[in-house]
Amino acid sequence: MPINSTSNKIPFVELKLQHQPIQRQLEEAIEAVLTQGDFVLGKALADFETAFAAASGTKYGVGVASGTDAIALGLQACNIGNGDEVLLPVNTFVATLIGVLRAGAKPIFVDCDPHTALIDLEAAAKVVTPQTKAIIPVHLYGQMVSPRQLLDFADTYKLLIFEDAAQAHLAEREGYRAGSVGIAAAYSFYPSKNLGSFGDGGMLLTREADIAQTMVRLRNYGAAKKYFHTDFGTNSRLDTLQAAVLLAKLPYLQNWNCDRNSIAQQYDQELLPLASAGILPIKNDSETGHVYHLYVIRVDDACPLSREQIQEQLAANGIQTGIHYPIPCHLQPAFTNLGYQEGDFPQAEKQAQQILSLPMYPGLSSSQIKEVVAAISSIISGQQQLMSIS
């Protein structure tokens, strides 16, 4: 599905509203790279690495080709690999899992909290073994996993915290920013992210100089210097052009996030009357620190229509939605060898059948939010009337 779709009256994501007001700055940033010709590991990359790390409350940033590489290479830089178990939520995008597997570690899935959809740390405690070395809290939909609870958990079981912050650029909770809680954090700059490039891109943030230095080598063929390879690395460098775009957009990110949070607050209020009809927003425990990469509702058993029926009828009304994610990682066909089966993670499996992501992007208007909610209300009311007649 394309990120922008002109066939939708209210698209799921609309990037033009962000890009058009700063088009001149974006063009100038790209032109500067073209003039300098430093397309690989250039000045704009170094500047962006420094700026994004500082904005996130940590010391070092290392740009890579994708968020998946940020996880895989980042875990390797943290000395997590063969024989090490890594805890991660089962309801995450498959990139989290792939990153763990590429690092050579063993993924140990954990169910989610039914209200926030974040990793259930009580469930995680039950699967810790002497081989468990790290936990990957996924700051899902733009909300951080509680830093205090994470730090207590990690201290209790002597684990590393490696954050998956791909959906949580500058998210905040309990005095921490995403990326500053654990030993390292992985980010994605896919175009639809809160801070998105004009293609793929990622970054590892860390407070540890040795991890950053290792990561610098791993992304560049494992080379400490040209033609001198000290590590088994790969080619995974954030292009200078993409870094220049991201650096130009970074000063606007905080305002864009505030806009997302305000949009979510209006959605929450508009959707309140539909709670009795089984339309329940995913809970926000972070107040204004939630940056709402996605705004997700649950269509629970009290609703007279299924999630699919509501989604189809919204589409018929020109309102585009998404599902994040329809199949939990343990039920993906590619990973049956991990030994999990249906029923192992009931909360995540139930959510996968109920969740629906509504349009969310900076610039989504109040009237558009009202139109989305009115459409959902009308769809449900129509079904209720049919049921009363029959």
Per-residue confidence (pLDDT) for residue 4, from 0 to 100? 47
For residue 283, give the DSSP letter: P
Backbone φ, ψ for residue 119 (5° rounding): -55, 135
- The interaxial angle of helices 43-55 and 23-36, nearest 10 deg, is 140
pLDDT at 8: 77
Say how many Å lie between the first and final Cα of the chain, rounded.
38
pLDDT at 387: 75
Distance CA 84, CA 106 (A): 6
- CATH 3.40.640.10 domain locations along the chain: 16-249
Tens of pLDDT along the chain (390 residues)?
A: 445 444 579 999 999 999 999 999 999 999 999 999 999 999 999 999 999 999 999 999 999 999 999 999 999 999 999 999 999 999 999 999 999 999 999 999 999 999 999 999 999 999 999 999 999 999 999 999 999 999 999 999 999 999 999 999 999 999 999 999 999 999 999 999 999 999 999 999 999 999 999 999 999 999 989 999 999 999 999 999 999 999 999 999 999 999 999 999 999 999 999 999 999 999 999 999 999 999 999 999 999 999 999 999 999 999 999 999 999 999 999 999 999 999 999 999 999 999 999 999 999 999 999 999 999 999 999 887 777 776
Alpha-carbon span 137 to 376, nearest angstrom: 32
Picking from 140, 360, 116, the residue whose alpha carbon sits closest to that of residue 256 is: 360
| Alpha-carbon dihedral sign for residues 299, 302, 303, 306 | positive
> Which among 170, 139, 368 is positioned nearest to 256, based on CA atoms?
170
Q: Tokens 């029923």: give the residue.
A: 343
> Looking at domain 252-389, which of 3.30.360.10, 3.40.50.970, 3.90.1150.10, 3.20.20.20 is its CATH number?
3.90.1150.10
- Nearest of 139, 127, 145 to residue 166 by alpha carbon: 139
Single pTM value for the model: 0.96
Amino acid letter for position 114: P
Determine which one of 193, 226, 350, 370 is catalytic: 193
Distances in Å between the Cα of 209 and the Cα atoms of 43, 78, 206, 216, 365 are 20, 11, 8, 11, 44
What integer pLDDT is reported at residue 6 of this predicted model? 44
Known catalytic residue at 193: yes
CATH class of 16-249: alpha beta
How many CA atoms, within 13 angstroms, populate the side-chain half-sphere of residue 80? 31
Question: What is the SS3 assignment for 227?
Answer: coil
**Domain span(s) for CATH 3.90.1150.10 in the chain:** 252-389
Alpha-carbon span 150 to 320, nearest angstrom: 35
The residues that bridge with 12 in the sheet, in sequence order, are: none
